[in-house]
Structure 1
């Protein structure tokens, strides 16, 4: 879901930067810096969808890079380490007991007699957080027993997540997006070859951009604004 939201979020940030809406930009930067893992995934999808646009995205990229460095600095999970973090949210007694079981580094399974409504709540927390925990109901006795089992997917997920973090950090630094503080590249983004267009921020359609390119190469441009003003843009 977060990956699909990258393009519209990128459009919102680009528009906010063009209009000078600092409130929107600050909210986006704060979200990437302080919210959970899903917000970080959304922030990276937003940056990748931004393409060559940099205005308004610099602070977001820097916050993502700092977040990734902190994640990579964590000790890697040891074989046989079964501790799982329950995302923040509900603080009821059920979730407290669930969190205690999940955080235990050695305990893999829990047989938990619970009434139907309570089982439903625990099912929902595990599903919503997409935890690597199998949850089944043993329909014997009263109340039925909810059987929780941590799965091997825990280790595979963390391995893939680490690879993804490394790839994201490399992309941020190689493109020069995250150059502030420790490890970011200070190179400026590559500019397209050829004459530099006069970008007034108004040419948006492909036809306008092609016409502008013709004008900049010495050709005639038919797509001019009223009054003979020609607006230049950047080629696709």
Structure 2
């Protein structure tokens, strides 16, 4: 919706082409505005505890351990002492699955330790998305008033 239809509606909103009620342009605008309104209506609240979405695209032992950590409402930090290949795999899963985690590597001792600390990245992304949705809605409103 956002990458194609919202972009098209915004482009049409900025053009000076004549529009009429019930036109394809007006219907497109209505659909996009409905989409934006639904997303704007979603609550914007930071997490109440340390629990984060825990669905990962891998089920290996290390990713299951990470998933358990993400699901925990009381743990804010997790450490994985493992060889480079394992640490790299877990870091790739964290990136691919957009986990709300900051990562550092403690290089004291061998093997090194991956340290994961929960953050509020998803909540912050939703706040930025809300701001963008409000701005896009304002840009589309004149097109919807035809």
Check whether the contact 1:80–1:106 (CA below 8 A) recurs between aligned residues: no
- Alpha-carbon distance between aligned partners in 2 of 1:97 and 1:58, rounded to the nearest angstrom: 50
Secondary structure, aligned partner of 1:91? coil
TM-score where L is the length of structure 1: 0.43
- Alpha-carbon distance between aligned partners in 1 of 2:74 and 2:28, rounded to the nearest angstrom: 38
Corresponding residue number in structure 1 for 2:112: 144
Instruction: Give the direction of change, closer, same or farther, for the CA distance of 1:89–1:132 in structure 2 (3 Å limit).
Output: closer
Corresponding pairs, count: 138
Secondary structure, aligned partner of 1:175? helix
Corresponding residue number in structure 2 for 1:135: 103
Q: Per residue, is there more strand in 1 or in 2?
A: 2
Corresponding residue number in structure 1 for 2:94: 126
- Alpha-carbon distance between aligned partners in 2 of 1:100 and 1:56, rounded to the nearest angstrom: 48
The aligned runs of 1:43-58 (5 Å cut-off) are 43=4, 44-50=6-12, 51-52=14-15
Corresponding residue number in structure 2 for 1:91: 58
- Is 1:116 equivalent to 2:84 in the alignment? yes
Unaligned runs of 5+ in 2: none
- Alpha-carbon distance between aligned partners in 2 of 1:127 and 1:80, rounded to the nearest angstrom: 23
Q: Which moved more, 1:56-65 or 1:127-136?
A: 56-65
Corresponding residue number in structure 2 for 1:193: none
Higher relative contact order (Cα pairs below 8 Å, separated by 6+ residues): 2
Instruction: Give the direction of change, closer, same or farther, for the CA distance of 1:56–1:149 in structure 2 (3 Å limit).
Output: farther
Instruction: Give the direction of change, closer, same or farther, for the CA distance of 1:112–1:64 in structure 2 (3 Å limit).
Output: farther
CA-CA distance at 1:134 after TM superposition = 1.4
Q: Per residue, is there more helix in 1 or in 2?
A: 2
Larger radius of gyration: 1
